[in-house]
Chains A and B, each alone.
Chain A
């Protein structure tokens, strides 16, 4: 069965600093990979996704992620964080089923705090 590990429960960075959130996955085949962001009291918003092709994917709000098959990783990066980036971030792996992506397995999330 697939699984996702986000080793950092909580990260604090200064506004304007760079950010990297780690994600490792376990899945036998080439997965769908996603990063979602959740603000307090809200649902999940998709930041970016990887299906195939270019291993460096660009997302919304200036985020990017790199798929490294050899390391089973899909780390999220942003060169300069803004106070509005404070939220919880979830990495997820999607199962390539018969019909497409039938379900996601999520990591436990990383809470990002931004200090002025």
Chain B
């Protein structure tokens, strides 16, 4: 069974640009979450989607947004990039949301964003 796939793995942008990151969850997983990892702040929760609906959101500005498609694939977008947005963005999928409650997240390898 394929794991969580994130694309692109690496990208470089300049301040003011926008970026879109993609995540394909494990087959059958309907919940997708996004996390930002930086050396200073560690791992921080961005948002979580289930069945195309955002169920939970972390404390990030509105420049950070996401969506989920009917096939459970998810994208996150960051607009008007700032230097501080340089980070590893991790996507995780889960079976949770229906009658199954495992609480277990499966992470992708991440998309490393560098903002110059």
Interface positions of A (Cβ within 8 A of B): 32, 34, 36, 41-46, 49, 51, 90, 92, 94, 96-97, 99-109
Contact = CB atoms under 8 A, between A and B. Distances in A.
Nearest 9 Cβ contacts at the A-B interface: A100-B96, A101-B103, A100-B101, A106-B43, A43-B107, A32-B103, A44-B107, A43-B109, A102-B56
Nearest to B40: A108
The size bracket of the interface on B is 20 to 34
A108 B41 CA distance: 8
Contact of A101 (B44, B58, B90, B105): B105
Given A43-B110, A90-B43, A109-B42, A102 B55 contact: yes
A34 to B, nearest CB: 8
Nearest to A99: B97
Interface of B: 4, 31, 33, 35, 42-45, 48, 50, 55-56, 58, 90, 92, 94, 96-97, 100-110
13 contacts: A42-B110, A46-B106, A49-B104, A51-B103, A92-B43, A97-B56, A100-B96, A101-B104, A102-B48, A104-B43, A105-B45, A106-B44, A109-B42
Contacts of A90: 43
Contacts of A109: 42-43
Given A102-B31, A103-B45, 14 more contacts: A43-B4, A43-B107, A44-B90, A44-B92, A45-B107, A90-B43, A99-B55, A99-B101, A100-B100, A100-B101, A101-B94, A101-B102, A103-B56, A104-B45
